[in-house]
Amino acid sequence: MLNLGLNTAGNWRLIYYQTHQGDPAKRKLRAPMIDIIELPVTIPGRILAVGASYIGAPPSWYTAGFFYQEVGGVSLDDTLVFPGVSGGSGAVLDASKRRIVLNTVELHIFERLATEHSYRFETMAWIPRIVLGVWEYIGAESDSTEDLLQTVRVDLARVEFKVDNL
């Protein structure tokens, strides 16, 4: 089980907060009014609180959009999938996709796949304006399962030592 100090104010760092205004002309093209929002920083942490709000939303609007975890620098030959397009030195892969509920702040725990991750947010097409906030958990993180495994390793080493001395 993951042990976190979520209630301690010093354990959270605001890494992104901005209001995005959409372009109503894009609606005629059946495109999202708000462009894809790429967070301008890479984040070493994997525990985030994500909030998205649009106060003018009717009650039937439930989803604000989707939040993606990206892993960059992946070496693969993408010319197999995209013939005729020269591949770069490293691809960016979507590692995880999370639905963000409108007018809430949610806790999201992502997999640790690299030392740092990039994130992006894609707003639902019909939302004309959105406020997006992202906080990173920077507090202590411990896993009781890992603690138990470490205890077993120590006990196993002690038993092996005793067997070797017989």
Joined together, the tokens standing for residue 100 give: 């963000």
Please check the confidence at residue 87 and state whether its pLDDT lies above 60: no
pTM as predicted: 0.75
pLDDT over threshold 90, residue 98: yes
Q: Which of 66, 70, 143, 152 lies closest to 102, judged by CA? A: 66
Structure tokens at 144: 């009781």
- Which of 1.10.150, 2.60.40, 3.40.50, 2.60.120 is the CATH number of 8-140? 2.60.120
C-alpha–C-alpha distance, residues 154 and 60, integer Å: 55
Tell me how far apart the alpha carbons of residues 120 and 16 are, in angstroms, rounded to a whole number.
11
User: Mind listing the pLDDT tens digit for each residue in 6-16?
Assistant: 677 788 899 99
> What residue ranges in the chain does DSSP mark as E strands?
2-4, 12-21, 37-38, 47-53, 63-74, 91-101, 104-109, 118-123, 129-137, 141-143
Residue-wise pLDDT tens digits, 24-45: 888 778 788 899 999 998 888 8
Q: Which of 136, 119, 137 is nearest to 67 (CA)?
A: 119
Over residues 119-164, the pLDDT tens digits come to 999 999 999 999 999 999 887 776 666 656 667 677 777 777 778 7
Please name the helix (run of DSSP H) or strand (run of DSSP E) that holds residue 151, with its range, or none.
helix 144-164
